[in-house]
Amino acid sequence: MYRASAKDGIAWVTGASGGIGRAVARELAERGYVVATTARRADELDRLAAEEPRILSYPGDVTDRAQMARLVAEIEAAHGPIALAFLNAGVYFPAERKGFSAEVAWRTLEVNLGGTINGLDPLIGVMKARGKGQIAINCSLAGYSGIPGSAAYGASKAALIYLAEALKLTYDRVGLTFQVVSPGFVATDMTAHADFEMPFLMSAGQAATLVCDGFERGGFEITFPRRLAYAVQLASILPYPLRFYIMRRITSFHQQE
């Protein structure tokens, strides 16, 4: 399994204007990488780049397929090969907790699934040609089993886990490494307005350390916190009556009014 290092090239992090992506960009820079960062808020990326000279600002919207292809080409032309990519940009709309809506569901899928696909396509092209590259996709423990109030968000993350599994099996023999990152609750803008208690909540900085350790360690899955991850993963392999029982217990904090 190929594991990227800073001597092989630079890192690219999407969704780096805040939260987990921003913390991972910083952590990768501390670990020696030059890091290209992408998100829509250019001012936040510029601020980050001004704070850390190894971080570069490449604003963009992951839902724009042509723009993502152009960005990968621009980054590589200016700074050399992308050895490690963290496709992290994502959204959760709290409106999901009020009830199911096609509009919210499609907007969620467009960013979380579509945006990741738009990054994967140009990355796989250039990495396959080089015979090496590491791509990690930020999924979620929500992708392992249905969670009330998260139908679209969880579906987008379940689709990403499937995508990563299939891409790993398709490309690992030609030197490409795929990883899924599946965090529990992390304190970011995404969770700032949660109206329920979040078990084992951790800071973005703590999450970034675990994510970057996982990049270095290799292996397909980077999941944390361990206790929540074990419970959710165990539930996902049980027959449905048991699975629903456990998920109801785990998500009792998350019930809709």
Work out whether 225 is an interface residue with ligand NAP (CB under 6 A).
no
In whole angstroms, give the CA distance from residue 17 to residue 13: 10
Scanning 36-44, 97-105, 163-171, 224-232 for contacts with ligand NAP by CB under 6 A, the matching segment is 36-44
Residue placing its CB nearer to ligand NAP in the complex, 4 or 232:
232
Residue placing its CB nearer to ligand NAP in the complex, 55 or 62:
62
In whole angstroms, give the CA distance from residue 153 to residue 147: 9
Closest by CA position to 4, among listed 196, 201, 136, 146? 136
Work out whether 214 is an interface residue with ligand NAP (CB under 6 A).
no
Residues 121/114, Cβ–Cβ less than 8 Å: no
Exactly one of 3, 31, 40, 243 binds ligand NAP (CB under 6 A); that residue is: 40
Q: Is the dihedral of CA 225, 231, 235, 238 positive or negative?
A: positive
Work out whether 62 is an interface residue with ligand NAP (CB under 6 A).
yes
Residue placing its CB nearer to ligand NAP in the complex, 173 or 193:
193
Scanning 4-12, 85-93, 125-133, 232-240 for contacts with ligand NAP by CB under 6 A, the matching segment is 85-93
Cα–Cα distances (Å) from 229 to 39, 99, 101, 204, in that order, read 28, 26, 28, 17
- Site pattern 131..160 for ligand NAP (x: CB under 6 A): -------x-x--------------------
Exactly one of 190, 222, 228, 235 binds ligand NAP (CB under 6 A); that residue is: 190
Residues that contact ligand NAP, how many (by CB under 6 A): 30
Exactly one of 29, 111, 113, 120 binds ligand NAP (CB under 6 A); that residue is: 111
Cα–Cα distances (Å) from 165 to 179, 203, 249, in that order, read 8, 28, 28
H-assigned helices in 19-176: 19-30, 42-51, 65-79, 102-109, 115-130, 151-171
**Please, which residues have CB within 8 angstroms of residue 196's CB and are 6 or more apart in sequence?**
253, 254, 255
- Supply φ then ψ for residue 198, to 5 degrees: -110, 110
**Is residue 153 annotated as a catalytic residue, yes or no?**
yes
In the complex, least distance from residue 111 CB atom to ligand NAP, rounded to whole angstroms: 5
Work out whether 33 is an interface residue with ligand NAP (CB under 6 A).
no
**Interior angle at CA 115, CA 38 and CA 219, nearest 5:** 85
Work out whether 226 is an interface residue with ligand NAP (CB under 6 A).
no
Q: Which of 58, 153, 171, 240 is catalytic?
A: 153
Contact positions toward ligand NAP, by CB under 6 A? 14-21, 39-41, 44, 61-63, 88-91, 111, 115, 138, 140, 183, 185-186, 188-191
Active-site residue list: 153
